[in-house]
Structure 1
Amino acid sequence: MTSSPPPKIPESVLVVIHTPDLQVLLIERADKPGFWQSVTGSKDTLEESLHETARREVAEETGILVGTPQVPDEALRDWALRNVYEIYPVWRHRYAEGVTHNTEHVFGLTVPAGTPVVLAPREHLQQVWLPWREAADRCFSPSNAEAILHLPQQLRQPARTDR
């Protein structure tokens, strides 16, 4: 008898990975071909900080390791943007019964141009680097597109030091 995984926590991160010249990484979902997005993922535990969730999801989905000389910790920034949205019905079975909404916390991650990306094949089919406006247009999720459109403004903001 196999046990089902525990329900997902309805609190997640969206990480806009970009280069200094505003090329944005998008990845295509394996479970929904044609759906392009930034890195997303839910907290694994209630105790996991949002910063830890963002670091973990970036590593799992792209192979990019935050906290290395190439991508230092300060390259991952909490943009202090929150989105509360209705979970698509196709994915609601992953959550506890009655959970219909998720709170998404937006982060940005600046990486050097040419940073290698290794996709998790069970999660994503392919990747593309696009200019920020073009990347926003390709996203299936309105909140993801909106976050990417905030990119130039976020780069002008001083870094937040709280985690």
Structure 2
Amino acid sequence: MTTIDRPWKIPESVLVVIHTPALEVLLIRRADAHEFWQSVTGSKDVLDEPLVLTAAREVAEETGIQCGEGSPLAARLVDWQLRNVYEIYPGWRARYEPGITHNTEHLFGLCVPERVVPTLHPREHTAWKWLPYREAADACFSPSNAEAILLLPEFAR
């Protein structure tokens, strides 16, 4: 357990590229890093949490968009069957069990019928914007997020 009495973060996460059929991508700006634009991301809550549930939960928490089982968008949340393994930024490693240096990120896409206005959690994100996918990739801080967005035309077919 961490010193603030909550479990360590699990080093397995999802990245969800939310997009329209026209390949416009929703980006959200992190509250803890003013120019850190990204797609929805988040870690599993428990080790055996299915990745699709992690993805739907994180989308709902970070944007207010409901895409979990039974929702109209559930079938539009697609596991791209791709993953990235990357080194956790040193400043964020304290959230993980000592010795954990890498995270495995699973890529998902969520196609919404049109641009929607997200409901942001102000402690996590402070702004949002829709951009054409290439511009969205250029705006991302994370190289793995940018690469995922550039794959969008392949997965949006």
Structures share fold, TM-score greater than 0.5: yes
Q: Which runs of 5+ in 2 are unaligned?
A: none
Cα distance in structure 2, aligned partners of 1:139 and 1:128: 12
| Partner residue of 1:68 out of 68, 71, 95 | 71
Give deviations 1:13-64, integer Å, cap 9, x for gaps: 0000000100000000001110000000000001110000000000000000
Cα distance in structure 2, aligned partners of 1:5 and 1:32: 23
CA RMSD of aligned residues (A): 1.1
Which residue identity lines up with residue 119 of structure 2 in the other structure?
V
Q: How many residues align?
A: 153
What's 1:107 paired with?
108
TM-score (norm 1): 0.91
Q: What does 1:34-113 correspond to in 2, within 5 Å?
A: 34-66=35-67, 67-69=70-72, 71=73, 73-113=74-114
Runs of 4+ with deviation above 2 angstroms: none
Q: Which runs of 5+ in 1 are unaligned?
A: 157-163
Secondary structure of 1:34's partner? coil
* Identity between Structure 1 and Structure 2 (%): 68
What's 1:161 paired with?
none
Secondary structure of 1:144's partner? helix
Cα distance in structure 2, aligned partners of 1:149 and 1:142: 11
Deviation of 1:5 after TM superposition, in Å, equals 1.5
